[in-house]
Amino acid sequence: MSARIITTVSGHIAEVQINRPEKKNALDLALFEELVATGEALKTEPDLRAVILTGSGGTFCAGIDTSTFMQMAGKIDQIRHDILNPPAGQNANMFQKPVTVWQELQVPVIAAIEGVAFGAGMQLALAADFRIAAPDARFSIMESRWGLIPDMGLTQSLPALLPADRAKELIMTGRVLDAAEALSLNLITRIETAPLDAARALAQSLAEKSPDVIRASKRLVNECWAVNADGLKLEAELHAPIIGSQNQIEAVMAAMQKRPAKFK
């Protein structure tokens, strides 16, 4: 894998680190592909029992790299086509798969969160089975800042955690939460001073249990708390006409120029 994704496997535990500290681990289109490739590769590890997701440089993930909007500007029709048409045999499109691939792993995934988990980073964290955060970590479903809706599989994670009114408020406002509020809303599992150490301890504890029990437990809870996979399709149908629209471009420009947006 690329040095921008560092994967280490020790015993039965894999650690996956997003490694763009100079960009606060923001995701671009290439990193989307690398996250998918990493997750798919881990599916083939026969002795794997737990995965830890983390970010380098004291930050989990600041969301989408803003340069990605410029990369997409010249090929928006193709982007919309790809959003609405996932690969054959897949429910998830190119934006959703970097998140949903972690939910597809049969083993538990633990997100160790320092710094921020904003936008795409928040959706990636929510794909984990457990989220352990530093006391000063901050969180936001930030897509509305960029004139977008959450489009990376949030429909497959958030309904099991939040009632509808709180979900709407966080999605619509994009406001930033501190770790204490995120914990009170069930968005994180617990707060630890050293989240990566705590994640490693939890992963080791899980790896010491029967792998049959751990895999079956994950499947049991996921299917009993099941969300309709049609949510991915609805995300795509709602997202496609928004991305690259006049109002979305204005939202990006206003955010980058730090001025009020003027929407049509």
- How do residues 113-159 score in pLDDT, each as one tens digit? 999 999 999 999 999 999 999 999 999 999 999 999 999 999 999 99
Place of tokens 């708390």: 225
The answer to whether 150 and 235 are in contact (CB under 8 A) is yes
pLDDT value, residue 215: 93
Q: How far, in Å, CA of 233 to CA of 198, rounded?
A: 36
- When mean pLDDT is compared across 149-158, 194-203, 231-240, the lowest value belongs to 231-240
Burial label for 250, CB within 10 Å (0-12, 13-18, 19+), is: middle
Strands (E), the chain: 5-10, 13-18, 50-55, 109-113, 116-118, 130-133, 138-140, 177-178, 190-191
Q: How far, in Å, CA of 102 to CA of 67, rounded?
A: 25
Q: How far, in Å, CA of 113 to CA of 244, rounded?
A: 31
pLDDT value, residue 1: 45
Which amino acid would we find at residue 54? Answer: T
pLDDT value, residue 2: 53
- Counting residues of the chain whose pLDDT is more than 90, the rounded percentage is 73
pLDDT value, residue 52: 98
Which of 157, 113, 119 has the alpha carbon at shortest distance from 135?
113
User: pTM for the complete prediction?
Assistant: 0.90
Question: In a 3-state reduction of DSSP, which class is residue 18?
Answer: strand
Q: Is the pLDDT of residue 72 over 90?
A: no
Band (192; pLDDT cuts 50, 70, 90): very high
What is the DSSP code string of 173-209? H---EEHHHHHHTTSSSEE-SSHHHHHHHHHHHHHTS
Query: What pairs with residue 166 in β-bridges?
Result: none
Q: Is the pLDDT of residue 238 over 80?
A: yes
Say which residue, 34 or 227, is predicted with more confidence: 34
Domains of the chain with CATH codes = 5-257 (3.90.226.10)
Q: How far, in Å, CA of 21 to CA of 54, rounded?
A: 12
